[in-house]
Amino acid sequence: MRLNKKERKKQLQETIDQNPFVTDEELAERFSVSVQTIRLDRLELSIPELRERIRHVASTQLENKVRSLPIEEVIGEVIDLNLDQSAISIFDVKEEHVFKRNHIARGHHLFAQANSLAVAVINDELALTANSSIQFHQPVKLAERVVAKAKVKEKSAKKERTTVEVLSYVGQTLVFSGLFEMYHSNRAGEGDHNENHN
């Protein structure tokens, strides 16, 4: 049963509060209305569009938080970061990321997004990928959005090795998974501080 406008707007506000990165298209599907209706509801509720919400979260949460590499070197847009715990980035697949003949994203872009997020989540000035085990589950196509979620799984006793799991999704579909063994050392300052395998 479709909700009346008042109830829909109430649930719309709650949904966006819980997940600021939900798209208008996803909201339209969830509430069984048109994208235009969602946009009008957002305007009436003074909720900015997705890109503005991302910028706001990034500017308030990520300022000076990434230590292991400049934030602009992370492939994709970091939207959440808890050092040594978890991180999330989004990557919009554009023309330059796909094979021309079939509009499927080149795998190295998905790897680079995941790998650089694994680097970014490390709370150290030096973080290098020592080893990785990856799997591509589904092809990703032009204009799709990939949401990568990194989670620190294990730290060694010496605190020089950390295992980071990264799962990448398009909508609810898992498209890529990887386990990254990261080397890091507090003795950063000798030589090159950053490495981003992409």
Residue in the structure block whose two tokens are 């798209």: 23
Mind listing the domains of the chain with CATH numbers?
A: 5-47 (1.10.10.10), 68-184 (3.10.129.10)
Range in 13-17, 62-66, 110-114, 125-129 with the lowest mean pLDDT: 62-66
Q: What is the pLDDT of residues 167-180, one digit of tens each?
A: 999 988 999 999 99
Helix ranges (H only) for the chain are 5-18, 24-31, 35-45, 50-61, 107-120
d(CA 24, CA 39): 7
State the first-to-last Cα distance of the chain, in angstroms, to the nearest integer. 47
Q: What is the pLDDT of residues 109-156, one digit of tens each?
A: 999 999 999 999 998 888 899 999 999 999 999 999 999 999 999 877
